[in-house]
Structures are given as structure tokens and as C-alpha cells.
Amino acid sequence: MPNRIFLFILLLVFASSCQQQTKRRSDYLIQGIDVSHHQSWITWSALPNQGIHFAYIKATEGGDLVDSLFQYNWCEAQNVGIRRGAYHYFRPDAPVLDQVLNYIREVDLEPGDLPPVLDVETTDGVTTEQLVERVRAWLTLVEIHYRTRPVLYSYQRFYNEHLAEAFGDYPVWIARFSDQLPELLPLKEWHFWQYGDRGQLVGIQGNVDFNAFAGDPEDLDELLVKPQPQPGKPTVGPTP
């Protein structure tokens, strides 16, 4: 009986540790969150005063799913002055063109927005070679449409096993729920780090993912969507 009681206590301690609240990091200047309908109706006006500088918002998934709160979150983030970005959850077994069209129908990027994100977390049964080919197709078509290089999101192990060698030239947003920094192959630097999924903020019901940006405001500005030149108007050149 004592052994059973001891085991029960250990299980309670383990369960409690798994539920620990994510603490905000103080060693990164630029902090952000990512949200979807799972956070329900967010009071966005409460977030800037809590040091939230950017937010990635789920827009779409697969070939036809649209997050039910995307348009609300998209508009409200802009209204309160938080840098906003939109991500697509990739389904490797769904037609790539359908997924591209699903995203661009919903997401109208403006100058100053964060670049598009492709969230790749599963193979859905396809081979790594097929996965790489389809991910590359989505990234390429979206970059052509928005004239902005997308960001690739994944968790550390999946990125290193399936994506690192093929997409080393893309900005990376990596998930590693740990105090330890992400370790990407081959010695790849990360841009965004999702370091916990149990953050608490006034204005958001339940938990929210916490993220940090590896740089200063000028570095972030380099990633943002830039104004596009107007047809027939040169962007550079001497004044007549």
C-alpha cells in the first residue's frame, strides 16, 4: 500500500509540472503570441500594455478550412497597433494549389504586416521527399503572390528531421517548449521561437502560446511586408 501511495504522489507531481504556466522571458526585447479560434474572443485592446509586440493569427488549414475568428483577430490586431501575421496549417496530403488559394483568398497583406507563415507539423503519411516538394511549392507560389518570402514554422525535431536540409534559406519559426534555446541543423539560426504554450494574459481566455523574436526592432522591420512599386513608376533613379 505505501508503494501505491508514493506512486500516486509522483503522478500528481508530474501532472502538476506538465500544467505549469509559461513564464514570459525577459531576455528578448520583442515578444509575441500566436492565436486561433481556440483562444475564443480576445480583448485585443488589453494586449499592448502587457508588452505584446506581434501576433501570428491562424488563417487557414488545408484546402478549404478557414479559422472562424481569423477576420476578427486580423482586424483587431491592426486596430490596437500590434504587428500582425497570418499562418496556414499545411496538410501534406491535400492538393497544394487548393491550399495556396485558400490562404490568399483570406489573407490581404499590407505593408508593415509580418510575412506569411507555413505551419508544417505532420507528414500525413507522405514521404519526406513528397513533403519537401509540396512545401516548396506552397512557399514558392505564396512568395510570388505577395512578393515576400514566407516563414517556415515547425517544432524542433520535425524541422531537423524533414525540413532543415531543404529549406535552410527560409526564415524559421521554431517551437521548443523549454528553457533551452532551439538547436537547428545544420547550425541554422532561428527568427521566432515559440517557447511555451501555457501563457496567461489579461484579455485572453485560457492559455496562449508565447513567442520571442531573435533581434531588435530594426531586424523585425527587415522581415515586414514592403510597399510594392506602382506600375509605371520607377522606384529609384535621379530626379529630372
Q: In DSSP terms, which residues pair with 209 in a beta bridge?
A: 34
Measured from the Cβ of residue 165, the count of other Cβ atoms closer than 10 Å reads: 13
Catalytic pick from 61, 76, 106, 121? 121
Whether 176 contacts 182, CB under 8 Å: yes
Pairing type for strands 83-89 and 117-119 reads: parallel
Q: In DSSP terms, which residues pair with 86 in a beta bridge?
A: 57
110 is catalytic: no
HEC string of the chain equals CHHHHHHHHHHHHHHHHHCCCCCCCCCCCEEEEEECHHHCCCCHHHCHHHCCCEEEEEEEECCCEECCCHHHHHHHHHHCCCEEEEEEECCCCCCHHHHHHHHHHHCCCCCCCCCCEEECCCCCCCCHHHHHHHHHHHHHHHHHHHCCCCEEEEEHHHHHHHHCCCCCCCCEEEECCCCCCCCECCCECCCEEEEEEEECCCCCCCCEEEEEECCCHHHHHHHCCCCCCCCCCCCCCCCC
Q: Which residues are catalytic?
A: 121
